[in-house]
Amino acid sequence: MATVTFDHATRIYPGTERPAVDALNLHIEDGEFLVLVGPSGCGKSTSLRMLAGLEDVNAGRILIGDRDVTDVQPKDRDIAMVFQNYALYPHMTVADNMGFALKIAGTPKAEIRTRVEEAAKILDLTQYLDRKPKALSGGQRQRVAMGRAIVRSPQVFLMDEPLSNLDAKLRVQTRTQIASLTRRLGVTTVYVTHDQVEALTMGDRIAVLKDGILQQVDTPRALYDTPANVFVAGFIGSPAMNIGTFPVLEGAASVGSSRLALPREVVGRLTDDDKGHITVGFRPESLDTVPQGTQDSFPVVVNLVEELGSDAYVYGALTNEFGAAAAVHSGAGDAQIIVRVDPRSVPKIGDTIYVRIRPNEQHLFHAGSGERIA
């Protein structure tokens, strides 16, 4: 087993000026499950491929343990990769697919069989060892791809969106299996996904990327509770955080037709770049429904109610005193606000509800830079 270190690792594709990955500094502990997450094109798969040796590193370096592998061939890095499309050989049985890398390496047949059977037992594939991939379901094929990685006993597992081809129920089941399996094996794992729910449920730590730049790396709880900037705040969490930029008047943010009191030290930290505004974030579960006229409450006109059984979410418009939509956005789009409500007492479309942010549950950011105000 080994640690993994990206030391100012940069990748610039030929014909482009902006780096796909820009001076990535990231240290992954021995046995840690780290998730790289971000929107499409943020550089997460490129980072993984740099670690695998499938992409050149134009500046900086990559270490596995104490060994600089920046210029080492992929086959000599002692890593195993699980791809999005499984990449199984269709003409080989499950057992041959799982043991193929060992066969190429010249491992004795008896040892290959033993290691394949051990991996098959762990992955509940024993009864499928003599089948061809076409006779398996998507989830079983993904487990075969996992098995092929396990039999090699690598120092590092690399997984590039391995669950994106599975249906919703199977994804939940398989992500639980992968997370528990890698922890049981104790192998350092770097896992790429664009699904932040997957990231929150699987990772020991999560690294959030945007435009090739690392935004924040921390535990799932810390990312959720203390996002470093507006991008991380809006990206982590489902449903997404409500985020709005409001004018600051007499020590309070003007939210819709109401005022949100701000701590004095926060107002004192606003800069010229903020231009008298502050960005406020509040999660759907941080809002309480209150009677009209309650201090610090603001009105939301209900556009849609989403009932999920154990939860219900209201999607509505935050309006100001003139009836116009205030500048707020969420996972539902611009000028939309999401509120978690009691699933047994949901409002009707067209109703106006009054909500208030719970004390100390708002997130405050600079309107100019988007950085968190502590």
* Residue-wise DSSP of 141-194: HHHHHHHHHHTT--SEEEEESTTTTS-HHHHHHHHHHHHHHHHHHT-EEEEEES
Higher pLDDT, 68 or 152: 68
Cα-based torsion angle of the residue sequence 244, 249, 250, 255 in order, rounded to the nearest 10 degrees = -40
Domain ranges of the chain: 4-234, 242-366
Name the pLDDT band for 320 (thresholds 50, 70, 90).
low
Name the pLDDT band for 324 (thresholds 50, 70, 90).
very low
* Residue-wise DSSP of 198-245: HHHHH-SEEEEEETTEEEEEE-HHHHHHS-SBHHHHHHSSSSPPEEEE
CATH architecture designation of domain 242-366: Beta Barrel (2.40)
Beta strand pairing status for 312-318 and 363-366?
Answer: unpaired
Q: Is the pTM of this model over 0.85?
A: yes
| pLDDT value at residue 322 | 38
CATH architecture designation of domain 4-234: 3-Layer(aba) Sandwich (3.40)
